[in-house]
Amino acid sequence: MAGRGKLIAVIGDEDTCTGFLLGGIGELNKNRKPNFLVVEKDTNGETGPDSVLKMSNLKIKLSSNSLTEYIKYTYKDWARIRLKNVLDQIPFRNHLL
């Protein structure tokens, strides 16, 4: 559980997510939903980020530049999510898109 503070979420490739989880930000909540999303070739841009972006106990969300651009145009609730949370951008290792 989150405890006092809020969490950091990550949307990125496998290496990026593994690295941030090594740093200790990972959580599986009561419903076993993670606060990270490993983006692969078959990840759905419209509904994939739902599980991460709609979590209420998140404060900072990290996503790569190219992924952010992709999600911006495919994810339906982008405008609302963008206003509600702080989005940091990190480099993307494998350009899948």
Nearer to another protein, 24 or 73 (CB): 24
Question: Should residue 79 be labelled a site residue for another protein when binding is judged by CB under 8 A?
Answer: no
CB of 1 to another protein, least distance (A): 7
Q: Give the closest residue to 67 by CA, choosing from 25, 96, 47, 31.
A: 96
Sequence-separated (6 or more) residues with CB below 8 Å from residue 93: 13, 15, 16
**Is residue 35 classed as helix, strand or coil in its secondary structure?**
coil
Q: Is 96 in the site for another protein (CB under 8 A)?
A: no
- The reply to whether 69 sits near another protein by the rule CB under 8 A is no
25 binds another protein (CB under 8 A): yes
